Amino acid sequence: MMNRISLAGCLSVVASLFRIFALTALALVSAQAMAQDTRTTVLTGGMLISGLSVPPVHNATIVIQGERIVAAGPAAEVKIPAGAVVIDTSGQTMMPGLIDAHAHLFMIGFGDEAGWFRWLQGPGRKYSIEKVMELSAWQLLMSGVTSAIDLGGNAAESISVRNRISKGEIPGPRLQVAGPLVTRRAFAGFPAEASAVIASPKEGAEVVDRLFRQGVDVIKAHAGLTRDDYFAIVKAAHANGIKVHAHVYAETDVRNAFDAGVDVLQHMGSAGFPTYSADLVRTIAESNRPIVLTAAHRSWIFPDTVKFPGRLQDPVLKSLFPADIWAALQDSFREWPAESYFAGIDRQVRFRSPQVKQLIESNALMGVGTDSGTPMNFNTDGLVREMKVLVDEGLSPLEVIADTTRVNARIMGKPDLGTIEPGKLADIIVVPGDPVYHDLNNLFTVQTVVKNGVVYKNQGKPLVKMPE
Ligand SMILES: [Zn+2]
Ligand SMILES: [Zn+2]
């Protein structure tokens, strides 16, 4: 028989875990994970979006055992096992956890990037790069992002945070990390460890080997590399069995990266140039190699913030930051339209729509990523903003959701993620109402977050504490 426990009941189960184990928030995650390995959790009553580009199922049930989904479908056809913890999702939508194919956890959306790293080093500051990454990881998870690819940061800290999350020591999305950008020129104002500067293709290959041995999952090749650099980097990465993501805007960079065999072309669609040549776009689409537009990060975020500066004081956003970082963040926004990050904004806004439309109309395989952490592009809302742009420019909400879940899982090389089907890892979010036919913006207020079968947020309330 059905054992329907109220949401309050679920919370009290978690509360009793707190009492039983009397541990810090850090150890609680693994305590929950262990407790839930032998437990069955059921989400039932809401609309189900599977991530498979098929129509949603109304009044659906998902059964989770340990970390995996064991059943999903119409409530009338899915039996709820005895003893299951049941979360009522009636009137809401259940869908795969979101995946961000381009995040930066060592940044938090400060008004200027160099200013952020200066602030961290100021007198009396208590946040290491690793602590910042923990904060971003928590913000992402609370916003429904259950997996992410970190495409640029400090290798040691990125690897450590990834490993601690996967061991259940700290809450966060399952991560793949690139460590430093492989580049011809270091980035002023960023930590030195975030750039791996090369002077030749040979050095490019050596850097890739070194980063692979250190433990990164992917390589991020930055624009400005030579054509031979890309070939050397891709060859070394593929020899080690890892993918290369290229940061490319201009047609020549895109072409060089593509010809060299780069696995994912990042940033196409936010270049601030006229559209790409038809030949290049057709070649990319035919190849079925994924592109990630990161369309919103400047071209929409700037004008959207001009229209509604209040988004920078959003109370939900505020609730996801420690008080001192929030105060510094507010300070950093004083002169934001003048920041050099937005120097090319007129061009970027002028060309944004034709570019994005060209790539959508090409039917190229599309993942979804944000470049999160860049100015005013928060880990908390960046991904939904990006998804909204893709819908406004012509994709259907179901297509965009599938791109953000199923296609991004493919980019990560994780076939057991990205859809809600028996056998897959249980990464599931619940959002209010109907994000498909009514309003995709419902994704901004994720109510429930399940990752690996563990409930990290329920009824809009985090069940794991913000890192301090
Ligand atoms: Zn990039
Ligand atoms: Zn980036």
pLDDT tens digits along 171-215: 999 999 999 999 999 888 999 999 999 999 999 999 999 999 999
Q: How far apart are CA 348 and CA 353, in angstroms?
A: 9
Residues, CB within 5 angstroms of ligand 2 (ion): 371
Nearest to 78, CA basis, from 405, 430, 421? 421
Which residues are found with C-beta within 5 Å of the ion, ligand 1? 247
* pLDDT, the chain, mean: 91
In which residue are the tokens 């693994």 written? 30
247 CA from centroid of ligand 2 (Å): 7
> Tokens 């028989």 sit at which residue?
1
Greatest pairwise CA separation for the chain in angstroms:
67
Q: How far is CA 417 from each of CA 64, 215, 402, 436, 460, rounded to the nearest angstrom?
A: 14, 22, 12, 21, 23
* Average pLDDT over every residue of 459-467: 95
Give the pLDDT band (50/70/90) at residue 7. Answer: very low
Residue 22: CA atoms inside 13 Å, Cβ hemisphere, count? 1
Residues paired with 273 in a beta bridge = none
d(CA 92, CA 448): 10
Cα 224 from Cα 216, distance rounded (Å): 22
Question: What mean pLDDT is predicted for residues 33-56?
Answer: 84
- Whether the pLDDT of residue 377 is over 90: the answer is yes
Task: Compute, in angstroms, the gap from residue 83 CA to the centroid of ligand 1.
Answer: 47
Complete DSSP assignment for 27-51: HHHHHHHHHHHT-EEEEESSEE--S
pLDDT tens-digit map of 309-343: 999 999 999 999 999 999 999 999 998 888 889 99
Secondary structure, 3-state, 94-158: EEECEEEEEECCCCCCCCCHHHHHHHHHCCCCCCCHHHHHHHHHHHHHHCCEEEEEECCCCHHHH
Distance CA 35, CA 21 (A): 11
C-alpha 216/C-alpha 205 separation (Å) is 14
Residue 12: its pLDDT value, please? Answer: 39
Report CA(371)–ligand 2 centroid distance (Å): 4
End-to-end CA distance of the chain: 43
**What's the CA gap between 262 and 242, in Å, rounded?**
11
Q: Report yes or no: 283 and 276 within 8 Å, Cβ to Cβ.
A: no
What is the number of the ligand closest to the CA of 107? Answer: 2
Q: Name the pairing type of β-strands 60-65 and 40-44.
A: antiparallel
For 279, the 3-state DSSP assignment is helix
- Say what the pLDDT of residue 352 is: 94
Residue 145: Cβ within 10 Å count:
32
Q: Which two tokens stand for residue 244?
A: 């290369």
pLDDT, tens digit, 9 for 90 and up, residues 347-358: 999 999 999 999
pLDDT for position 304: 96
Using the predicted structure, report yes or no on whether residue 24 has a pLDDT greater than 90: no
Nearest to 182 by CA among 226, 213, 143: 226
| Domains in the chain: ranges and CATH | 7-97+419-462 (2.30.40.10), 98-411 (3.20.20.140)
Question: What are 210-241's pLDDT values in tens digits?
Answer: 999 999 999 999 989 999 999 999 999 999 99
Confidence of residue 22 (pLDDT cuts 50, 70, 90): very low
The ligand with the least distance to the CA atom of 297 is 2
State the pLDDT confidence band at 5, using cuts at 50, 70 and 90: very low
| Predicted pLDDT at 435 | 95
Q: Which amino acid is at 105?
A: L
Mean pLDDT of 155-165: 98
Which ligand is in closest contact with the Cα of 105? Answer: 2
